A and B are shown apart, each in its own frame.
Chain A
Amino acid sequence: MRGGASSVKGDVAVLGAGMHPWGKWGRGFVTYGRIAARAALADAGIGWSEVRSVVGAQTVRGGYPGYVAGATFARALGWQGARVASVYAACASGAQAIDTARAQILAGLADVVLVVGADAAPKGFFAPAGGERADDPDWLRFRVLGATNPAYFGLYARRRMALYGDTPDDFALVKVKNAAAGALNEYARYRTPVTAEEVAASAMVADPLRLLDICATSDGAAALVLCSMEFARRRGVRDPVRIRAVSTVTPTFPRTVLDLPDIGTDSAVAVDPSPESFRASIARTAYEEAGAGPADLSLAEVYDLSTALELEWYEDIGLCGPGEGAKLLRSGATAPGGRIPVNASGGLASFGEAVPAQAIAQVCELTQQLRGRAGQRQVAGARVGITANQGLFGHGSAVIAVR
């Protein structure tokens, strides 16, 4: 599947990619989204008026304009009559926006689609929406348990330590690797290398995870211009980066791994659980759709909400067997120059999460890498990349891009 002139029937082309730097800028999500969108349009070399559909990844932190993100961005860019959609899927919102755009292109509903996600994040822990809502699991986990997102990450990390013998030193190494990569990325929020000693000296947040093991929450925006392969050809782009698979599958019952924001898992009394984890099923579905496998990958962008979670992703996307994540990390295989660099962008460790933008930013990174335009971060000869992410309420995504 590497290279080759013929395109699979389901391919869509990435004509342009653009981002607003991650950080805490004190402005609104619309401003960030508009800047990223214009950057993507400029990168694509097309005018805004040529875009026939806008898909916005929603934010729950921007009031009504956040819920109707697609229309909000279309208005900010100037109404021009394009069709519009807005999607929300927690951390996978950006990938579902990409998937919506892809479906429209493959169905022939639109030739050129703009995908935008942007967020302006609060300081500190993500908290649930206000009010007294005893029927909302996200409200309940805070009210009854004070269970923040890092608390769940801490549970997963300790479970790995008990099952596989991972150590806090292993987790720290993930941060060291990703901080070094992020230092080379102009869009990253944190651009200073970090040492293992600095991780170990940072404050404990959710034992065994420390402040530098856990991703921050950031402002940021990312946008893509996607189009049909035919449109790309007409524009003289003969060898575009292509999106070959987008996986947005849900879990299967019974789900036996505690997921945010759950207080209890499903019961496996009536039905045996699948031997395959939800995260692994997300990646497998993408591989099947792309007709590719882990051995084909040049690089991967995975959702390192915590350092320990990056190690789980190594296993879930098939880079190594269960429990072998730390060993793979220590071998250097996932570092720049290794067999399969993971989070060459710097990952969430260097960006901090801007929820609706993050999955789009992952694809922006694949795009630059597959174009060979990632500068000092460039993975040599990159041809196939995967992104993977997971959000609360049973969401997750994986995107495979090729060139």
Chain B
Amino acid sequence: MSRTRTPVVAGWFTDDAAEEDFRLLGTRCSGCRTVHFPREDGHCRNPGCPGGELEETPLSKRGTVWSCTDGRYRPPPPYVSDPGVPWTPYTLVAVELAAERMVVLGQAAPGVGVAALPVGSVVEVVPGVLDEDRETGTVHTTWHWRPVAADGDAS
């Protein structure tokens, strides 16, 4: 069966971009420059905003770890997981984006544990797979945070 790749939420990240071009997509207010992620399309949340248009904007590819943890137990629905398969813990990481002056949560790339994500270390956003429905052939895509090697290849 052919697979259909569908973002878990439409419009939150670049679809089908090459890994080096992959970005989270937020919105930026033309009135006050505030960035919103998840995207805010109806209204700017800055109470002092003079008013403006919300325009889609890619977020920084790299950030630093604000904190991280992991999920040792299967989360309840609507998280999708196969109860017939033993639970594999995954890591959650909160990432500070300097240019946007905000923190964004995400799962770490598969196999990346909390030990690989010390607070303050550099990570980058990469495309990932959240779940697949074998019956319909639908693959839900998402974003993952992945450590950037200390020797630092060009971003």
Contact (A144, B130) CB under 8 Å given A134-B9, A155-B68, A258-B94: yes
The stretch from A103-111, A120-128, A342-350 touching chain B is A120-128
B67 CB to closest chain A CB, in angstroms?
4
Interface residues of A in 95-148 (CB under 8 A from B): 124-125, 127-128, 132, 134, 137, 139-148
Interface residues of A in 166-208 (CB under 8 A from B): 203-208
A295 CB to closest chain B CB, in angstroms?
32
Interfacial chain B residues near A263, Cβ < 8 Å:
37-38, 104-105
Chain A interface residue count, CB cutoff 8 Å, equals 48
Query: Which residue of A127, A151, A157, A262 is within 8 Å of B71 (Cβ)?
Result: A151
Q: Does A271 contact B (CB under 8 A)?
A: yes
Task: Give the docked Cα–Cα distance between A144 and B106 (Å).
Answer: 9
Is B92's CB under 8 angstroms from A147's CB? yes
Task: Give the docked Cα–Cα distance between A254 and B40 (Å).
Answer: 15
Say what secondary structure dominates the interface of chain B.
loop
Is B8's CB under 8 angstroms from A267's CB? no
B59 CB to closest chain A CB, in angstroms?
9
Task: Give the docked Cα–Cα distance between A142 and B114 (Å).
Answer: 20
Per-residue interface assignment for chain B, residues 76 to 105, with 1 indicating a CB less than 8 Å from any chain A CB and 0 otherwise: 111111000000001010100000111111
Q: Does A268 contact B (CB under 8 A)?
A: yes
Is A207's CB under 8 angstroms from B76's CB? no
B35 CB to closest chain A CB, in angstroms?
4
Is B118's CB under 8 angstroms from A264's CB? no
Tier of interface size on chain B: 35 or more
Interface residues of A in 243-268 (CB under 8 A from B): 253-254, 256-258, 262-268
The closest CB in chain A to the CB of B48 belongs to: A271
Task: Give the docked Cα–Cα distance between A208 and B142 (Å).
Answer: 25
Query: Which residue of B32, B38, B69, B92 is within 8 Å of A270 (Cβ)?
Result: B32
Is A156's CB under 8 angstroms from B67's CB? yes
A266 CB to closest chain B CB, in angstroms?
7
Interfacial chain A residues near B92, Cβ < 8 Å:
145-147, 151, 154-155
Is A254's CB under 8 angstroms from B9's CB? no
Q: Does B47 contact A (CB under 8 A)?
A: yes
Is B45's CB under 8 angstroms from A145's CB? no
Q: Does A158 contact B (CB under 8 A)?
A: yes
Contact (A158, B67) CB under 8 Å given A264-B103, A270-B46: yes
Is A142's CB under 8 angstroms from B76's CB? yes
Centre residue among B75, B104, B130 by max chain A CB count within 10 A:
B75
Is B36's CB under 8 angstroms from A267's CB? yes
Q: Does B134 contact A (CB under 8 A)?
A: no
Contact (A144, B142) CB under 8 Å given A162-B119, A207-B114, A268-B101: yes
Is B34's CB under 8 angstroms from A146's CB? no
Task: Give the docked Cα–Cα distance between A376 and B100 (Å).
Answer: 53
Task: Give the docked Cα–Cα distance between A394 and B80 (Å).
Answer: 27
Is A207's CB under 8 angstroms from B72's CB? yes
Query: Which residue of B34, B66, B71, B120 is within 8 Å of A267 (Cβ)?
Result: B34
Is B78's CB under 8 angstroms from A270's CB? no
Centre residue among A145, A208, A256 by max chain B CB count within 10 A:
A145
Query: Which residue of A146, A253, A266, A271 is within 8 Å of B79 (Cβ)?
Result: A146
16 A-B pairs within 8 Å (CB atoms) are namely A140-B9, A144-B8, A144-B130, A144-B142, A145-B106, A148-B73, A148-B76, A158-B68, A204-B70, A207-B70, A208-B69, A264-B103, A267-B35, A270-B46, A271-B46, A271-B48
**14 additional contacts (CB under 8 A) given A142-B77, A145-B107, A162-B119:** A143-B8, A144-B130, A144-B142, A145-B79, A145-B105, A205-B72, A207-B69, A207-B72, A258-B103, A263-B105, A264-B38, A266-B45, A269-B102, A270-B29
